[in-house]
């Protein structure tokens, strides 16, 4: 796998991981005891910490990417394992 492909796939894992960990640890102003600013939604986060989200996303994406890359190298799960009925003719020629 080329380094540019590795980077692109890792960044995709990172973005997905960021959205996965985003809601963890968030508290609303009602839960933190803060006063609402005029026009602020009651569901707006009162303690958003983007650095903490970035660190959590980095850890989760590193683990997920490591599993993805290990599967790429060791071929644990193949396309044949995922195809419930038959392989497309274009893929059968390669194997």
On the question of pLDDT at 88 being above 80, the answer is no
Where do we find the tokens 């009925």? 85
Closest CA to 34 of 21, 47, 24: 47
* pLDDT digit string, tens, across residues 42-78: 888 988 999 999 999 999 999 999 999 999 999 898 8
The two structure tokens encoding residue 73 = 């190298």
pLDDT of the residue at 93: 62
* pTM higher than 0.75: yes
Q: Residue 22, Cα to own-chain centre: how many angstroms?
A: 10
User: How many other C-beta atoms are found inside a 10 Å radius of the C-beta of residue 69?
Assistant: 14
DSSP tag of 49: -
Instruction: Return the SS3 of 31.
Output: helix
Closest CA to 23 of 51, 45, 6, 41: 45
Residue of higher predicted confidence among 33 and 7 = 7
On the question of pLDDT at 95 being above 60, the answer is no
């Amino acid at each position: 796998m080329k380094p540019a492909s590795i980077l692109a796939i890792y960044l995709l894992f990172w973005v997905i991981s960021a959205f996965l960990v985003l809601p963890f640890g968030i508290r609303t102003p009602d839960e933190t005891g803060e006063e609402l600013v005029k026009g602020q939604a009651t569901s707006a986060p009162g303690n958003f910490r983007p650095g903490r989200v970035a660190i959590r996303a980095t850890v989760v994406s590193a683990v997920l990417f490591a599993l993805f890359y290990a599967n790429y190298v060791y071929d644990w799960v193949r396309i044949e394992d995922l195809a419930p009925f038959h392989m497309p003719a274009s893929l059968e020629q390669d194997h």
